[in-house]
Amino acid sequence: MGLPDEAKVLPPPGIINRNSVWLGVIGWCSAVLQNALNRRPPMKSGRVA
């Protein structure tokens, strides 16, 4: 029970596609949201106040 012969001939998918861009944007937005909820603005989170 493996891949059919037609699937073995197909080239691999590209590294950058719509799904990877979507996951990257969602990950970035969740990090910014988490920083906002922790009261750590993204531009000031590296500074020691």
Three-state secondary structure readout of the chain: CCCCHHHHHCCCCCCCCHHHHHHHHHHHHHHHHHHHHCCCCCCCCCCCC
Q: What is the mean pLDDT of residues 18-23?
A: 92
For residue 30, the enclosing domain spans 5-38
Enter the pTM of the model: 0.54
Does any domain span residue 29?
A: yes
- Residue 6 confidence (pLDDT) above 90: no
Does any domain span residue 47?
A: no
pLDDT confidence band for 40 (50 / 70 / 90): low
- Residue 22 confidence (pLDDT) above 90: yes
Does any domain span residue 44?
A: no
**Total domains, the chain:** 1
Does any domain span residue 49?
A: no
Q: What is the mean pLDDT of residues 7-11?
A: 87
